[in-house]
Amino acid sequence: MMKAVFFDRDGVLNEDRGYVFEREEFVWTDGAKEALADLTQAGYALFVVTNQSGVARGYYTEADVRSLHAWMTAEARRAGGDIKAVYYCPYLEGAPVAAYDRKSSWRKPGPGMILQAMADYDIDKRESFLIGDSPRDMEAAERAGIDGYLFTGGSLQVFVNRIIEERRRRGGL
C-alpha cells in the first residue's frame, strides 16, 4: 500500500485567479513545486483533485483542462515532483452547459475523486491526507476517511513540512 497526498489545485498548487485553464494564467503558489518534490522524495504518491465548474459554465472545455494538467504535471516532474494522476469534476447542478448540468459525487465536498483514486491505486488511508484551501476540501477529506489540512497561504513547502513533522510526532508515518 502506498501513502498519498491529495491536493486541491486552485489556491493550493496555483494562485486562484478564477477559472484558470491556460498556462499563461497558471502561476504556481510559493513553494508548491518544492513541496511536490519533497513529498515525492519522502515516498508519497501525489494526486490532484479539483472542481472545474468552468467547463459546466462554458468558459473552457475538458480538453483545455486536460491540456493544462498535462503541462502542470510535466512542470512538477521537471522540479522533482511526481503527480500520479489528476482527477477533476466538470459537473455543476444548474449549469448553463446542459451536458454538465448534474449532481456528482466527484464535486467536492463529495469524496468521489479521492475515493476513485483510492480504487485506482493501492492507497493506505491512515498514511494519506489532503491539502485544500476551503471548507469543502476539508469535508471531502473527512468523507473519504483521510485527514485534511487547510492551506491559507504562505509557502506550501513550509506548510507541507510542518504537516510531515506533525504526523511523524504523532506516529502517523
Catalytic residues: 8, 10
Residues 6+ apart with CB under 8 A from 168: none
Query: Strand pairing of 45-51 and 83-89?
Result: parallel
Task: Give per-residue burial for 45-82: e unless 16+ CB within 10 Å, then b.
Answer: bbbbbbbbbbbbeeebeeeebeebbeebbebbeeeebe
What is the C-alpha separation between 167 and 164, in angstroms, rounded? 5
